[in-house]
Structure 1
């Protein structure tokens, strides 16, 4: 199960970077199309940390970061290779996949800070409560880390290009939207944790059977 969760985590990170180009409006909130996909990555690291421990969650974060760097490298190559004479969408291709260096740096920095902060807060609460109050550490860690993630990304990505009052408005709107998503995904966290624990218990039981037979 841990392998599937880590693969899903890395895959969603890569997809979120591509989807982020589009901005949509819902109920007065202007949000990047990647917001739901990206928020799911925090859900997954919470599940990994809850079931498999802090070290495994940290490994997933490192794997996701490396995956992003590799994908960005290959996207850069794909954008820079000369287009065929009949390919007439090079400008659109660059616009969608290329992104700006400033936005890419903002994405990577906010990712590293917020994901590691999330794991830190989540496990501080778990050390205090054990298996109890999963909803508390899932939501409380998100309240802190999503503010950090949103603030870091928007400030680095748009500083110098939009007025300060617009920056504050963007941070506030995206932060509120992310917190709403976090509150809604709490049942999914419980569901995935339950599935992962059952799978882990089966794996441990099988390992004990094998060990007993060998002995």
Structure 2
């Protein structure tokens, strides 16, 4: 039960930090957050936890905040800025991947204590690394597109929750599908693969639902 409570607190802290950085730094703060969150999420994903009777990765929460940030940009500044933020996050993620792969090739000194830990964190299997990069790019681009479409159909503020939940929950489904297909398909029996896919999406679905109040708060900033 400790993990479940801590997970909810952790989610609230993450979403609160997004609204704070937007409140203080405006649009630029969201761009910084998206770049940072994509990197941190891919570090946290190496840690698995038991929660709600399921095994889940820890990176799902901060990864979900990137979708909240792009939704805020889409809502307040338009699709062009949201797309630019998606590419910023992708470039940040791929830059980190390349730089850390090169860093791991250096021979550690005799007194080094960090090389093994860094190897564990950043020696991604090629399928996992490619799956993560493509899932991010495809799902984030789709999130921007569908949010703009929903905003055109439901433009009033009272439908903000529809735009937010509809775009994020559908795009997170796409994210989970792309990642699990590339990273894990063929590695597990079909039934096990489907369980991994559904578990991954279930956690992301909860995260998407939790971010809605924070979008309403951010909507009031920088009018």
Smaller-chain TM-score range? 0.7 to 0.9
Give the Cα separation in 2 of the matches to 1:17 and 1:6.
17
Higher radius of gyration, 1 or 2: 1
Counterpart for residue 94 of structure 1: 119
Q: Is the 8 A contact 1:19 1:32 kept in 2?
A: yes
Q: How many residues align?
A: 197
Deviations along 1:103-152, one digit per CA (max 9) or x if unpaired, are 11000111111001111111001112224311001111122111111111
Which one of the candidate residues 54, 67, 71 is aligned to 2:92? 67
Counterpart for residue 209 of structure 1: none
Q: Is the 8 A contact 2:139 2:171 kept in 1?
A: yes
Which one of the candidate residues 181, 187, 197 is aligned to 1:171? 197
Counterpart for residue 11 of structure 1: 36
Give the Cα separation in 1 of the matches to 2:210 and 2:185.
31
Q: Is the 8 A contact 2:31 2:85 kept in 1?
A: yes
Which one of the candidate residues 46, 52, 57 is aligned to 1:27? 52
Cα 1:67–1:145 change in 2 (3 A) is: same
Q: What TM-score does the superposition give when structure 1 sets the normalisation length?
A: 0.87
Shift of 1:8: 0.6
Partner of 1:31, secondary structure, is strand
Deviations along 1:55-113, one digit per CA (max 9) or x if unpaired, are 00000001111111111121112111111022255333211122211111000111111
Point out the more displaced range, 160-169 or 47-56.
Answer: 160-169
Structure 2 residue 163 is matched with structure 1 residue 150: no
Which one of the candidate residues 113, 122, 132 is aligned to 2:138? 113
Aligned alpha-carbon RMSD (Å): 1.3
Structure 1 unmatched runs, 5+ = 202-215
Which one of the candidate residues 134, 142, 160 is aligned to 2:160? 134
Structure 2 unmatched runs, 5+ = 1-25
Q: Is the 8 A contact 1:29 1:174 kept in 2?
A: no
Give the Cα separation in 2 of the matches to 1:34 and 1:155.
19
Give the Cα separation in 1 of the matches to 2:153 and 2:133.
31
Alignment of 1:49-60 (within 5 A): 49-60=74-85
